[in-house]
Structure 1
Amino acid sequence: MTNGGCELCAPGRRRFFTGLAALAAGGALGMPAVKAQGSASDVAQQRNWIDVHHHLVPPGYLAQVPDDDAVPGASATPRRALANWTVEHSIEQMDQAGVATSMLSISNPGIWFGDVAKARKLARECNEYGAKLVSGYPGRFGLFAALPLPDIEGSLAEIAYALDVLKADGIGLYTSYGTRWLGDPAFDPVFAELNRRKALVYTHPTTADCCRNLQPAVSPNVVEYQTDTTRAIAEILASGTASRYPDVRIIFSHAGGTMPFLIERFVGWAKSPQIAKKLPNGLKYELERFYYDTAQTSNSTAMGALTKIVPDSQILFGTDYPFRTVVDHVKNLTECGVFDDRRLRLIGRDNALALLPRLRT
């Protein structure tokens, strides 16, 4: 994981891990005085972005999802956005923003509603539909296949079918399932198989059972989703999942949730003996091995914080379509003042190509 040809040569990141007092004082969030070259539309058309956080809604999917009032913590707004999704709209958005390829995944509320058989059936239907889009629109889409977790047996079978038969590009997971976060020992068989396959894993936040409807006036996507991502990162570290399964390549949505802003607490926590023994290579090593997308975080504050913690090689372009427009994210990322054109090309395309070499053809 290098940046500009030398290991960890980004000055801000070196300062961060060797001088946390400066971060606590707020200096780590200073924005680089760099402007993207050209207008957002000009830069977009030159770049051929790869969007790793782009949702699909298979035919009949919403009909199998309970109404919002039957899904604790759900919001009507996401359901409306999903109801308006079409593949034609996706491609139109991509073309407007200069996106060459979008990696498709199922968004909240997911496919698990307490019935094993129904979850397995819904996962298979979603994955087969996604695979049809990949083959029907060559070069425009990739697929992160859904699993019927917390059903372990069904998930192992679906990993095999999705990767071996459908040739999916990776697997999509949620940050938590019921009362367990990724990293919980219950999910070890799934991580062991993903590690054996050196799989690429995209994660999407949700609301854990503990934290539904805590604030009725506050939609879970405002606070809870970001918090759930952070909990998943912490659990994957604390359980030793990260060190035991080093060949699983994990993408965290939304710039890693609140992790970049809680990093000083993470550093102190990771020094405790019970956590340190789970991180034989250290916290810094693991955080710099994960990947983070820019969906809903394409602004100077979030990107400024993230780039103080991880090298550019670990940041991937994502949009969260259809909940936000693709054009919004290209415009915001190119105009936020954090990245120059060389860095934008890494984040917008080259880093994804390193993970998804088939997109080169």
Structure 2
Amino acid sequence: MTTDHCEFCGPGRRKFLTGLVAIASAGVVGTASAQSQTSDPTSARRNWIDVHHHLVPPGYLNQVPEDDAVPGASATPRRALAGWTVERSIDQMDQSGVSTSILSISNPGIWFGDTGKARKLARDCNEYAAKLVAAYPRRFGMFAALPLPDVEGSLREIEYALDVLKADGIGLYTSYGNKWLGDPAFDEIFAELNRRKALVYTHPTTADCCRNLQAAVSPNVVEYQTDTTRAIAGILASGTASRFPDVRIIFSHAGGTMPFLIERFAGWAKTPQVAKRLPKGLNHELERFYYDTAQTSNNVAMGALAKLVPNSQILFGTDYPFRTVVEHVKNLTECGVFNDAQLAAIGRGNALALMPRFGA
């Protein structure tokens, strides 16, 4: 990895850190109420951590090509992104008893075919997220964006995000073009993340192969969950999971369709070409991954996931602003799958084990 880029020089770093100190008084991120009015009497005691909470930096949507805003989807998701504000995020959190949200960039991501633009967009998004964390240190954390499939630029951004911005982890998409996580093209990235014992949050997208397959079916209905499943399969089949065991991976949406395909996964994992990549077995790997509850906080999805992995591997997530924080808390607490102790772990304890700074 090289570090001779001007953005890593001393003056640039000092300028950024100075900006962090000034951000709270500069009015860049606005203000938010300390505690919104709520009809939920338990919200003040809940103190949960949302690991799947999106932000929309100023000007981000202006850099997204219109046809790439939400590929194949209706205009509704773009409106949700356009309506995002810091104040609305915090109000949602306060209404439901969520103390902290870990911010990440949602679809359509960072890459639109131009390496230079992707590097700049990733840097701009990460620095804006870091400013929010500095302004609201108890309310927000961040998973840094990378300009993949640009590997060299991504290695530099990992270094900057973790060493300078002090990001809580790195955000990856489940696929890039027609390459899923686990592809050898991403080995350098995983090697560096493994060296750092990094926390990695993954978000689904639509691979090039599977855009606009059904005009009436938005990709977030079927393709996102399928893309997560393909990424899990790729990480297992390539040996990425076993070769880089210190990377702690969070899969969105309860692992996509993987829990419902577990019988097929189990048979496939016994084939010689896959078994040799899983020296500790399929269950060992699946049971050490983490899975969030975003858009799956119902008794069918949670029931399947809870039978597959230990409760310690389930994390609370909401997919805000595409869905509300309030409804996820309500659905999860009322789904009937978890007792109070398990809900407390999913809502906070499991995330604190990964990001202990929020318990200080």
TM-score, normalization by structure 2: 0.88
1:265 equivalent in structure 2: 264
Secondary structure, aligned partner of 2:250? strand
The question of whether the paired residues in 2 share the 8 Å contact of 1:73 and 1:207 is answered with no
Distance in 2 between residues matched to 1:41 and 1:314, nearest whole Å: 27
1:135 equivalent in structure 2: 134
Distance in 2 between residues matched to 1:130 and 1:44, nearest whole Å: 26
1:46 equivalent in structure 2: 45
- State the Cα RMSD in Å: 1.3
Alignment partner of 1:256 is 2:255: yes
1:263-294 per-residue CA deviation (whole Å, 9 max, x = no partner) reads: 00000000000000000000000000100000
1:157 equivalent in structure 2: 156
User: How far apart are 1:360 and its partner, in Å?
Assistant: 1.0
Amino acid of the structure 1 residue aligned with 2:276: K
Distance in 2 between residues matched to 1:291 and 1:175, nearest whole Å: 14
Secondary structure, aligned partner of 1:173? strand
Amino acid of the structure 2 residue aligned with 1:148: P
Distance in 1 between residues matched to 2:141 and 2:68, nearest whole Å: 32
Distance in 1 between residues matched to 2:284 and 2:178, nearest whole Å: 28
The question of whether the paired residues in 2 share the 8 Å contact of 1:55 and 1:321 is answered with yes
1:126-145 per-residue CA deviation (whole Å, 9 max, x = no partner) reads: 00000000010121000000
1:290 equivalent in structure 2: 289
The share of aligned pairs that are identical, in percent, is 83
Alignment partner of 1:73 is 2:54: no
Amino acid of the structure 1 residue aligned with 2:192: E
The question of whether the paired residues in 1 share the 8 Å contact of 2:312 and 2:350 is answered with yes
User: How far apart are 1:43 and its partner, in Å?
Assistant: 4.2
User: How far apart are 1:211 and its partner, in Å?
Assistant: 0.3
Distance in 1 between residues matched to 2:294 and 2:176, nearest whole Å: 22
User: How far apart are 1:47 and its partner, in Å?
Assistant: 1.8
- The count of aligned residue pairs is 323
Alignment partner of 1:96 is 2:95: yes
Residues 85, 116 of structure 1: alpha-carbon distance in 2 compared, 3 angstrom cutoff: same
TM-score, normalization by structure 1: 0.88
User: How far apart are 1:72 and its partner, in Å?
Assistant: 4.1
Alignment partner of 1:124 is 2:123: yes
2:167 equivalent in structure 1: 168
Distance in 1 between residues matched to 2:43 and 2:271, nearest whole Å: 45
The question of whether the paired residues in 2 share the 8 Å contact of 1:49 and 1:98 is answered with yes
Residues 72, 54 of structure 1: alpha-carbon distance in 2 compared, 3 angstrom cutoff: closer
Alignment partner of 1:210 is 2:193: no
Secondary structure, aligned partner of 1:308? helix
The question of whether the paired residues in 2 share the 8 Å contact of 1:179 and 1:209 is answered with yes
Distance in 1 between residues matched to 2:70 and 2:50, nearest whole Å: 28
Distance in 2 between residues matched to 1:267 and 1:43, nearest whole Å: 41
| Structure 1 residue runs without a partner (length 5+) | 1-39
Amino acid of the structure 1 residue aligned with 2:217: V
Amino acid of the structure 2 residue aligned with 1:268: G
2:26 equivalent in structure 1: none
| Structure 2 residue runs without a partner (length 5+) | 1-38
Secondary structure, aligned partner of 1:41? coil
User: How far apart are 1:50 and its partner, in Å?
Assistant: 0.1
User: How far apart are 1:78 and its partner, in Å?
Assistant: 1.1
Distance in 2 between residues matched to 1:194 and 1:75, nearest whole Å: 35
1:85-141 per-residue CA deviation (whole Å, 9 max, x = no partner) reads: 000000000000100000000000001000000000000000000000001012100
The question of whether the paired residues in 2 share the 8 Å contact of 1:176 and 1:207 is answered with yes
Distance in 2 between residues matched to 1:219 and 1:297, nearest whole Å: 17
Amino acid of the structure 1 residue aligned with 2:357: R
